[in-house]
């Protein structure tokens, strides 16, 4: 099968990007041909298909000049993306287009091309942007949904990047795409959890076209350390407010006899380090990946995922379970579908420092219980979250989309 993978970047910048490259490897290992479709960027991996990539626009910073207007135009309707996708389809003749995060940098106008050219389209939903002008439905320090707000109301709220103009652009783009029904041109939607599927249904997406397919991990390649650890509590995340880094630090301050290791970097890093300067049991180890990261997982007593936003899935929890470590996670979003409470880990009230600290203390004192949870988590990953199971589920969704498209 020849498959187009459409995503805003062709390099790893986020969890969605990492999944994209894992997916490409998985598809090619099974004999499929993968054609990437993305935005041009100096960090992109080399590919002969770059000729189809759309020109680069800057979306990280808000600007009011020509570049800002160009970015706004791309966000709202991209004739270039539509033209490039049409060219790709005519020349490469793919069997299917599998879209990921195409929102601002590419634009969902590519779905006009796939529909016009008669190519079935599948989209993996990595966040909430199809049903909200916010990727995570998180702003101003809490969960918020601005999908029903007017354009100016959203702009004055400054929910996006704390900027009037960025919020105005996001609101206007969201409402335009919603009125045009661009995301409804997709044949099948893939959500990693039932929670996300439910949120799509609430916004009018047809339940029969939404498939729940959890992410997979190659746990057989991971050497687990069950019942053996160095006693520390591990937090692996981008250091941003919504990931619960502040409740974690406050819990650590209440547990001076327990060592905490924080893996990652991000906007809150400097403030976190300043706040924790008198908390010697907290160690910031920076960004880690590959075997270095797995080694840190192996030494942990438990891994904490104290998210405040409605996590779509929770890949860190899956990695911890693969390493044979129990997970303490917030009872929110898709996380309860990954962690079985009191079986593979423990769920806590989001944002509750007291609940988080008490649960960490419990596993610190009871190493046997921690090992029991970790062993169960490892077994669950080997049974329910394998790469092969994910691939077979994906192929079934591909076939269903192709058959329905032919029937149409």
Confidence of residue 78 (pLDDT cuts 50, 70, 90): confident
**pLDDT at residue 64 is higher than 90:** no
Residue owning tokens 């907290």? 282
Cross-sheet strand order for the sheet of 188-191: 33-37, 2-6, 96-99, 121-124, 188-191, 210-212
Confidence of residue 17 (pLDDT cuts 50, 70, 90): confident
Predicted confidence (pLDDT) per residue in 205-251, tens digit: 999 999 999 999 999 888 888 878 999 999 999 999 999 999 999 99
Please say whether the beta carbons of 55 and 80 come within 8 A. Answer: yes
Over 141-183, what HEC string results?
CEECCCCCCCHHHHHHHCCCCCCHHHHHHHHHHHHHHHHHCHH
**pLDDT at residue 408 is higher than 70:** no
For residue 319, which of 239, 219, 232, 237 has the smallest C-alpha distance? 219
The CA-based dihedral angle spanning residues 352, 357, 362, 367, taken in that order and rounded to the nearest 10 degrees: 120
Q: Which domains, from first to last, does the chain contain?
A: 2-216+387-407 (3.40.50.2000), 219-384 (3.40.50.2000)
Question: Which residues sit opposite 348 in a β-bridge?
Answer: 330
**If you average pLDDT over residues 119-129, what whole number do you get?**
96
Output the CA–CA distances (angstroms, integers) from residue 175 to 13, 107, 146, 368, in the order listed.
27, 14, 11, 53
Predicted confidence (pLDDT) per residue in 170-209, tens digit: 898 999 999 999 999 999 999 999 999 999 999 999 999 9
Predicted confidence (pLDDT) per residue in 141-168, tens digit: 999 999 999 999 989 999 988 888 888 8
Predicted confidence (pLDDT) per residue in 334-371, tens digit: 999 999 999 999 999 999 999 999 999 999 999 999 99
Reduced DSSP (H G I as helix, E B as strand, rest coil) percent helix, strand, coil of the chain, to 5: 45, 15, 40
Which tokens in the block code for residue 299? 């030494």
Please say whether the beta carbons of 102 and 8 come within 8 A. Answer: yes
Confidence of residue 74 (pLDDT cuts 50, 70, 90): low
Stated pTM of the model: 0.93
Which tokens in the block code for residue 77? 């309707």
Per-residue pLDDT, 62 = 55
């Amino acid at each position: 099968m020849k498959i187009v993978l459409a995503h805003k970047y062709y390099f790893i910048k986020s969890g969605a990007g990492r999944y994209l490259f894992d997916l490409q490897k998985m598809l090619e290992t099974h004999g499929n041909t993968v054609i990437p479709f993305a935005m041009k960027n100096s960090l992109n991996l080399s590919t002969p298909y770059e000729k189809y990539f759309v020109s680069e626009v800057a979306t990280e910073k808000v600007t009011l000049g020509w570049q800002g207007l160009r970015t706004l135009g791309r966000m709202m309707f991209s004739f270039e993306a539509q033209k490039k996708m049409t060219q790709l389809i005519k020349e490469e003749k793919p069997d299917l287009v599998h879209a990921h995060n195409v929102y601002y940098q590419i634009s969902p106008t590519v779905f006009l091309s796939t529909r016009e050219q008669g190519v079935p389209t599948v989209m993996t939903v990595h966040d909430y942007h199809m049903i909200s002008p916010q990727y995570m439905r998180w702003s101003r320090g809490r969960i918020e949904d601005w999908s029903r707000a007017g354009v100016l109301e959203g702009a004055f709220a400054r929910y996006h990047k704390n900027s009037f103009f960025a919020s105005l652009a996001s609101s206007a783009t969201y409402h335009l795409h919603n009125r045009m029904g661009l995301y409804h041109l997709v044949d099948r939607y893939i959500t990693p959890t039932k929670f996300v599927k439910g949120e799509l249904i609430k916004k009018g997406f047809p339940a029969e076209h939404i498939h729940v397919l959890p992410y997979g991990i190659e746990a057989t390649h991971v050497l687990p350390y069950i019942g053996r650890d160095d006693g520390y509590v591990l937090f692996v995340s981008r250091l941003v407010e919504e990931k619960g880094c502040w409740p974690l630090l406050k819990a650590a301050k209440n547990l001076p006899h327990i060592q905490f290791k924080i893996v990652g970097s991000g906007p809150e890093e400097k403030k976190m380090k300043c706040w924790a300067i008198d908390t010697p049991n907290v160690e910031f180890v920076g960004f880690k990946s590959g075997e270095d990261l797995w080694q840190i997982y192996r030494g942990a007593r438990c891994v904490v995922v104290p998210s405040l936003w409605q996590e779509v899935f929770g890949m860190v929890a899956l990695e911890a379970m693969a390493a044979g470590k129990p997970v303490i996670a917030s009872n929110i979003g898709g996380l309860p579908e990954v962690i079985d409470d009191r079986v593979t880990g423990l769920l806590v009230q989001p944002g509750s420092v007291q609940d988080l600290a008490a649960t960490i203390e419990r596993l610190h004192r009871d190493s046997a219980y921690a090992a029991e949870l970790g062993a169960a988590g490892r077994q669950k990953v080997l049974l329910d979250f394998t790469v092969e199971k994910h691939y077979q589920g994906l192929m079934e969704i591909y076939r269903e989309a192709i058959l329905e498209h032919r029937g149409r």
